[in-house]
Structure 1
Amino acid sequence: MQQQERGTNWVMVLLIWAAGLGAAAQYGKIAVIFDRLPALYPGVGAAMGWTVSLVGVLGIVFGVVAGLFVSAFGYRRTLVCALALGAVMSALQALHLPFGLFLLTRVVEGISHLGVVVAAPTLMAILASGPARGLALTIWSTFFGVAFAILSWAGLPLVDAYGVLALFGVHAAIMAVLAVILHVALRDVPVPARSRCPDLAALPALHLSIYRSPYKLAPAAGWLFYTCCFVAVLTVLPPFFDESIRPHVMGAMPLVSIAVSMTIGALLLRQMPGVTVVQMGFLIGVASILWLWAIPGHWLACMALAAGFGLVQGASFAAVPQLNDIAAAQSEANGAMAQAGNLGNAIGTPLFVAVIAFGGYGALMLTVALLLLCGAVVHQGLAFKRRRWAADSF
């Protein structure tokens, strides 16, 4: 234990984790105040859904190879520049830009977000030695849920007191401070040598090889349905809750998801494959949505839904090395997960906003239930395909 503590710079690990919180807030700062945006931009209608999802557009295109680009640019430089770029975009948003320009800043924020989420865990793995590396990356995996909880419990009171634009301004200040601190603190951190910039002409072939493999594709396939629902549900559900419990439920859901992932999920993964745990999480989610359909706004149903999300969250990452033994294959599977995650985040909120406009709360519940069920079914289909591949290899 003493050796671990001497070999791991926990202060730096937590600073980089804080950068992850800032990146997660690029989604969360819009999600938690989504029901207040029409007052800021009246008459926009269903297009308001893109205010959340446009951050993921560049991740959809470059998710698989983002690690190669970051390696070529440099991990330290990427993290600092991504934080600085995020600070500038939030500062512009605090000026109450016209809606079109606001959406453009959200696209540019996607560069910032992708840079942080690719560079930060790599730097954390360098800073953590031996067994502490797993703990450091487990801490990293909580960044989305913790950021949403902080925004629900601290961001919403700030908005109540000073308005939506104040939240954007505070986010800009935090990102700028983190950029300055990490610019200084990361100077002496050893990093891998920069690689050559990837050949863009090779991207289609790389994507095709991943999508054809039921081993590399499986974690990403389930992750697509999870991310399509997670942020979007936290974004569109609040108006359907009583205002007296709304911030408490929305703040607790991400934390329940994290707690279940790190406790029950970890115990289940010792007994069964990650894919099985993911399917359990999806089916728990389906049952919870049907519960919410029958009893709208029930807080316990929301906690059950968060628990299902938590099982999917942790087990999806665990499934990558379980299904792919070779490091290169794991890297490709992780890249596919990044791409699928951004695609899911981009699709979810606009889809749910349109569904609510068309069919109301009942249509929303049906859509979420179908997406979660599809996540379990797709995993089952890919499991059948893996068994066929294994049988054909003999």
Structure 2
Amino acid sequence: MTQSVPNTHTQWLEVIFLWIAGVSAAMQFAKLSISYDAVMMHYQTGATLTGATLSVVGIAGLLFGVFAGMIANKIGYLKVLVSALFLGGILSFIQSLLPHFSVFILTRVLEGFSQLGVVVAAPTLIAKLSAPQHKSLTMGLWGTFFGVAFALTGWLGKSMLDQLGLQGLFLSHAFLISCAGVVVYFLLRKNSVLDFVPVIGGQSRIISQMLTIYRNPRALLPSLVFLFYTCTLVSLLTYVPRFVEAERIRATMLVALPLISTGGTFLAGALGQYIMRPQRVALMAYSGVALNALLLPFLLDQTLLFSVIVGVTVLFLGMIPGASLGMIPMLARNPVEQAQGYGLIAQFGNLGATLGPPTFATVITAYGISGFTGLVLIICCCGVVFSLLAGRIQTTR
């Protein structure tokens, strides 16, 4: 794929609005995170089924993530992005009507296609709108969209939920994501930098490429390191604050924890660039998560200290995506392998986001904070193993 007009300067306004579009799409996860208890109460469902409403958004990316880029390449990234944003607005509006639970679940599954369209199209457009000397900066900005969405939703969405209820929360999201679609369309529809020349391959080539990706440890291992992060993050942000009885501290955690996670991602990037290999950063991060999680059951009655340890846990957890993404250019032997690695990370990320919340919900319901800690320790052991394996691969730089 090539761009028909070379871009010599970064179009910051357009980049920022594309980032806002990503934030509005990530709120499809965040809005269910903060309204978890309200949804469970309204529909009278158990923790596992309610946890599924949080995670099913990832199913579309899990099943169709490999093909989403090809579709966007064929029909146009801007069309895919705007369509995905409008689809998200329509589905949030339907959710604001509080339909039957089966319809609600269906809208959540369809929101996965909205989410997938945004995360495939928006970063591609951002890269095209960025001058070469700014691409690391703009892609770093894009990498914060998930944490920022959770922080904003925890800050503003919680008060909306308290004052306007579930209907008001979902309707507000419908308005935000639809407005993002309108603004992005009119801002970018005549932008010549975004003219693409599509590259179309045959189906046999696609299947062969997929098999190559899964057999290549240089792409597979960073993705497995990333998988166990996505299993844990959304669940930790959703469930752990509920162990805190003090309403003010719990509300603060809903805002602060996503920001701490984002800070951890930036910290991992700096460590991996200047001090140690990303594989060692991932190893240190998983070890830090495990050690801090071990303390949580013993601090449940000490609210302030418990909250601090949760914050430190999230900081270490937030370092893992920075380390995983940093491994790919270090391990990849050529640009093709690098692109394959990023694609596989997206797919495994959706796998973790789909399986994590209902699994954690079931374990926490049965065993409380001790169950949470036990599951985190198992996940961290897996993360440590794959970080060590990735560390044994000879790097390309």
| Superposed displacement of residue 233, structure 1 | 1.1
Structure 2 portions without partners, runs of 5+: 1-6
Match of 1:36, as an amino acid?
A
Aligned to 1:254: 258
The 3-state SS of whatever aligns with 2:248 is coil
Q: Does 1:131 align with 2:133?
A: yes
Find the counterpart in structure 1 of residue 39 from structure 2.
Answer: 37
**Per-residue deviation, 1:88:** 0.5
Using the size of structure 2 for normalisation, the TM-score is: 0.92
Q: Which runs of 4+ in 1 moved over 4 A?
A: 196-204
- Per-residue deviation, 1:373: 2.3
TM superposition shift of 1:206: 3.0
* 1:210–1:264 CA distance, 2 compared to 1 (3 A): closer
Cα deviations by residue, 1:155-197 (Å, 9 ceiling, x for unpaired): 0011011102211100000111111111111112222535366
TM, length-normalised to structure 1: 0.92
The C-alpha deviation readout for 1:215-254, integer Å capped at 9, x for no partner, is: 0111111111000000111111122112220011121111
In the TM superposition, what are the counterparts of 1:1-394 in structure 2 within 5 Å? Answer: 7-189=9-191, 190-193=193-196, 195=198, 199=202, 203-242=206-245, 243-263=247-267, 265-296=269-300, 298-384=306-392, 386=393
Contact 2:268/2:323 (8 A) holds in 1: no
**Which residue pairs with 2:3 in the alignment?**
none
Alignment partners' CA distance in 2, 1:241 and 1:204: 48
Quickly say closer, same or farther: Cα 1:143–1:363, change in 2 above 3 A: same
Q: Which whole-Å CA distance do the structure 2 matches of 1:45 and 1:32 have between them?
A: 14
CA contact (8 A) 2:268 2:322 kept: no
**Partner Cα separation in structure 1 for residue 25 and residue 243 of structure 2:** 27
The size of the alignment, in residue pairs, is: 384
How far off its partner does 1:45 sit?
4.6
Q: Deviations over 1:338-374 (max 9, x none)?
A: 0000000000000011112222221111101211221
CA distance in 2, matches of 1:370, 1:199: 41
SS of residue matched to 1:163: helix
Secondary structure in 1 matching 2:256: helix
**Kept after mapping to 2: 8 A contact 1:72/1:194:** no
Q: Aligned partners of 2:251, 2:380: CA distance in 1, in Å? A: 25
Report the Cα offset of residue 20 of structure 1: 0.5
The CA deviation at 1:313 is: 1.9
Moved more, 223-232 or 358-367: 358-367
